[in-house]
Amino acid sequence: MSAPARVRSRIRVTGIVQGVGFRPFVHGLAGELGVVGFVGNDEAGVIIEAEGDPAALEKFVDALRSRAPALAAVEEVSAVPIPVGGDTAFTIAASESHGPRSTLISADSATCDDCLRELHDPADRRYRYPFINCTNCGPRFTIVTDVPYDRPSTTMAGFALCAACTAEYHDPTDRRFHAQPVCCSQCGPTLRLIDTAGQPVGESGDPIRDAATWLSAGAVLAVKGLGGFHLAARADHEQAVAALRGRKHREDKPFAVLAPDLAAVHELCEVDEAELVELTSRRRPIVLLHRRPDARLAPQVAPGNRSLGVMLPYTPLHHLLVDAVGAPIVLTSGNISDEPIVYHDADAATRLQPIADGFLTHDRPIHIRADDSVLRVVGGRPMPLRRSRGYAPEPLPLAWPAPRQVLGCGAELKSTFCLAKGRHAFLSHHIGDLENYETLRSFTEGIEHFKRLFDIAPELVVHDLHPEYLSTKYALDLVDGDVEGVELLGVQHHHAHIASCLADNGEEGPVVGIACDGTGYGGDGTLWGGEVMVASLVDYRRMFHLEPVPLPGGESAIKEPWRMAASWLRVAYDGAPPDDLEIIARNGVRWTHVLRLLDSELDTPMTSSVGRLFDAVAALIGIRDAVNYEGQAAIELEQRVQLDEPAGYPARLEGELIRGGDLIRAVVEDVRAEVDPGTIAARFHNGVVDVLARAAQAACAETGLSTVALSGGVFQNVVLLQRVSAALSSAGLRVLTHSRVPPNDAGISLGQVAVAAARDRATH
């Protein structure tokens, strides 16, 4: 019997397939299956010519997807038959780079198990080397300065490989073949512990051990990580954590904690299976977990909070440091209050000098700032609250290709931008609140960087309708600056929220959308934020909304929830609010002032925001009159909810209005009856859930739709999210929620892009 005929295929693989060890993987696979030919990189990804018997070739093509390396994200594998070539071996071809670029850059990835083993092996040449990495792990996005992704276009360019590292780099069978950040203690970055004057310090000569000694003695250290500087303190050290809080001017916002290992996480928090998956993923986000009452933590870590943000080490430096300390450490963004995280050494030396007692730093530059990502697990699925390090700049798939290249400028708080080309939406890392020069610069530089990395020249620029957002002004300036051929598109804030939820789920609608939010500019010039709408990616129609109330003093009403309580009381009691409540006594003369302001209608824009209704209730029941971080009152209200309280306050739907006044009067009655705040919080939540579900059902009945999408910052409230979802599901409706992008304003830029692409598709 003769051997089966040989066949040959030209195979194209796209996705995140460069800089992730794909070529050595293909090389190994070919050897295993007796396939000959070659593999190479080009502008579009990986190109392979493979030749062998038909069965082997079929297995080969299947394995390209099913057995791809850890950091690869294979999007497409396409094979076309070509004439056999008669090669005798399988080789790795040199890279080519000519045509238009369409390769992707992977996110930074946690240290892999192989590297960890070497890190702890005294016989290994990288034993205890804090910058160990390989093709399966290590820094990527934060060190890439340009394309194509090659060592000279990373911040490792200044480190010449030693002979041993060179050999690994060029050996196709080595785990470090073409790993661009590869290095060792002979040729790579060096770690230093320095004091606030920049002088080297430490007793042992090992900066890690010395840093651990400092931390255990109660010092606050600035630690240079992957995407910026953190501030670190021992999490069980009361004075250290209190000092950190004081010097950082951060009053209540919880700190995240880095735990040495899973055992330590279990001691701090309750963890379920789905949470474990997220905690240990190579993306290594901060996961908000239910904290144990007996957790050994300084009180100032997360004051008055039932949950705790926890992460596991994600760089060799963090592994070594937290192991040496032997206890969890607080790891919070290196900045003062709301400024962006510091990522340059010179900047750290000046800006963090007042906070840190010393600096654990190194000489590998950070090119792009990337904050830690944060998520919560809800109903077994991740709900991102901040999508940044470990995720960006991985593209999110658009359900259909965008006809033109698009830039979404996002909103203002928790700002991100999003660039799209074809089916790829490149949602940026977390930029921060676009309120100061530093964040604005980070925003504009970030856009330029992404444009270059992904070869995108936006023809369509999308902005929020809010005229005062710096992101809106940025978009308008682009066109004023006569950037050739750029078209502007304004997309309403809550339409963008629902569109972001649709894009998150790969759908186009139409659906009924519930957008529960802080405040966003409405289509009618008032501030919206409690919207039940019919929405597709292309368009939306408002169907129900919370009854609008004045926002007394505009912005200051957001920082001082008691003002919202005054406004809501006035609406709920038809202009004659009660005068015998504790909140009135507490606020004294300023209460009267605000009532007068409300009567005058000066500086009192109208808002239908659900977030502001939550604020009002939090103030009414005495939880909080003023906030010192965004959403604080609503977060604390949620934390108070008496989870097994079944009752809920009634609220009417009247025409297109959701009557919030009904809820407020019910709250007041219970406050007067001295019902405990946890029970009131629960009844209020249940009332909101019920009226939102009824509104959505009515919208579904009227339109014949049966899917409801939930978005907006208020849906970070898990009690609200789960109960609204449950109510809609039990009414037979399908519910869409977020699992890839945050429901808050960080998702707006993706929603904007999705709307623009869909409208473009509809008209082109």
* Interface with Zn ion (CB under 5 A): 112, 115, 134, 136-137, 162, 165, 184, 186-187
Could you tell me how far CA 284 lies from the centroid of its own chain? 12
How far apart are alpha carbons 530 and 158 in whole angstroms?
Answer: 53
The CA-based angle 45-49-51, given to 5 degrees, is 150
Least distance CB 28 / Zn ion (angstroms): 16
Instruction: List the single partner that 464 binds among Zn ion, Fe ion, none, CB under 5 to 8 Å by kind.
Output: none
275 binds Fe ion (CB under 5 A): no
How far apart are alpha carbons 679 and 666 in whole angstroms?
Answer: 12
Nearest residue (CB) to Fe ion, 528 versus 591: 528
Omega before residue 397 within 30° of 0, cis: no
412 binds Fe ion (CB under 5 A): no
Omega before residue 148 within 30° of 0, cis: yes
What b-and-e string marks burial along 384-421, b requiring 16 or more CB atoms within 10 Å of the CB? bbbbbbbbbbbbbebebebbbbbbbbbbbbbbbbbbbb
User: Three-state SS for 8?
Assistant: strand
Nearest residue (CB) to Fe ion, 547 versus 745: 745
φ/ψ bin of 601: left (φ > 0), alpha (ψ from -120 to 50), beta (otherwise): left
Instruction: List the single partner that 311 binds among Zn ion, Fe ion, none, CB under 5 to 8 Å by kind.
Output: none
Instruction: List the single partner that 517 binds among Zn ion, Fe ion, none, CB under 5 to 8 Å by kind.
Output: Fe ion
Nearest residue (CB) to Zn ion, 177 versus 568: 177
Nearest residue (CB) to Zn ion, 162 versus 476: 162
Residues 331-360, one symbol each (x = binds Fe ion by CB under 5 A, - = not), give: ------------------------------
Identify which of 198, 179, 183 has the alpha carbon closest to the alpha carbon of residue 137. Answer: 179
Among the candidate windows 48-56, 361-369, 484-492, 742-750, which touches Fe ion by CB under 5 A? Answer: 742-750
745 binds Fe ion (CB under 5 A): yes
Between strands 549-550 and 606-607, the pairing is antiparallel
Least distance CB 632 / Fe ion (angstroms): 17
Least distance CB 191 / Zn ion (angstroms): 15
Instruction: List the single partner that 745 binds among Zn ion, Fe ion, none, CB under 5 to 8 Å by kind.
Output: Fe ion
How far apart are alpha carbons 717 and 572 in whole angstroms?
Answer: 24
Instruction: List the single partner that 184 binds among Fe ion, Zn ion, none, CB under 5 to 8 Å by kind.
Output: Zn ion
Nearest residue (CB) to Zn ion, 125 versus 452: 125
**Which parts of 504-523 interact with Fe ion (CB under 5 A)?**
517, 520
Residue with the shortest CB distance to Fe ion: 517
Nearest residue (CB) to Fe ion, 133 versus 749: 749
Non-local (6+) Cβ contacts of 66 within 8 A are: none
| Ordered alpha helix ranges (H), 428-581 | 437-453, 470-480, 493-504, 555-559, 561-572
Residue type, 369: R
Least distance CB 137 / Zn ion (angstroms): 3
Among the candidate windows 178-186, 459-467, 473-481, 740-748, which touches Fe ion by CB under 5 A? Answer: 740-748
Bridge partner residues of 420 (DSSP): 406, 425
How far apart are alpha carbons 520 and 609 in whole angstroms?
Answer: 8
Least distance CB 116 / Zn ion (angstroms): 8
Asked whether the beta carbons of 381 and 739 are under 8 A apart, the reply is yes
Among the candidate windows 104-112, 120-128, 333-341, 739-747, which touches Fe ion by CB under 5 A? Answer: 739-747
Identify which of 511, 515, 551, 548 has the alpha carbon closest to the alpha carbon of residue 530. Answer: 515
Instruction: List the single partner that 328 binds among Fe ion, Zn ion, none, CB under 5 to 8 Å by kind.
Output: none
Least distance CB 501 / Fe ion (angstroms): 12
Helix (H) or strand (E) holding 659: none
Instruction: List the single partner that 342 binds among Zn ion, Fe ion, none, CB under 5 to 8 Å by kind.
Output: none
Residue type, 430: H
285 binds Fe ion (CB under 5 A): no
630 binds Fe ion (CB under 5 A): no
Instruction: Centre a 10 Å sphere on the Cβ of residue 213 and count the other Cβ atoms it contains.
Output: 17
Identify which of 714, 740, 747 has the alpha carbon closest to the alpha carbon of residue 504. Answer: 740
Instruction: List the single partner that 520 binds among Fe ion, Zn ion, none, CB under 5 to 8 Å by kind.
Output: Fe ion
Instruction: List the single partner that 324 binds among Fe ion, Zn ion, none, CB under 5 to 8 Å by kind.
Output: none
Least distance CB 118 / Zn ion (angstroms): 8
Least distance CB 182 / Zn ion (angstroms): 8
Nearest residue (CB) to Zn ion, 115 versus 527: 115
Least distance CB 189 / Zn ion (angstroms): 11
Least distance CB 310 / Fe ion (angstroms): 27
Nearest residue (CB) to Zn ion, 175 versus 738: 175
How far apart are alpha carbons 620 and 636 in whole angstroms?
Answer: 13
Nearest residue (CB) to Fe ion, 119 versus 634: 634
Nearest residue (CB) to Zn ion, 135 versus 471: 135
Least distance CB 518 / Fe ion (angstroms): 6
Least distance CB 212 / Fe ion (angstroms): 42
Non-local (6+) Cβ contacts of 650 within 8 A are: 662, 666, 687, 690
How far apart are alpha carbons 717 and 737 in whole angstroms?
Answer: 13
Rounded to 5, what percent of the chain is helix, strand, coil? Answer: 35, 25, 40
Residues that bind Fe ion (rule: CB under 5 A) add up to a total of 3
Q: What is the 3-state secondary structure of 139-195?
A: CCHHHECCCCCCHHHECCCCCCCCHHHHHHHHCCCCCCCCCCCCCCCCCCCCEEEEE
Least distance CB 534 / Zn ion (angstroms): 49
| 28 burial type by CB count under 10 A (0-12 exposed, 13-18 middle, 19+ buried) | middle
Residues 520-549, one symbol each (x = binds Fe ion by CB under 5 A, - = not), give: x-----------------------------
- Residues at the contact surface with Fe ion, assessed by CB under 5 A: 517, 520, 745
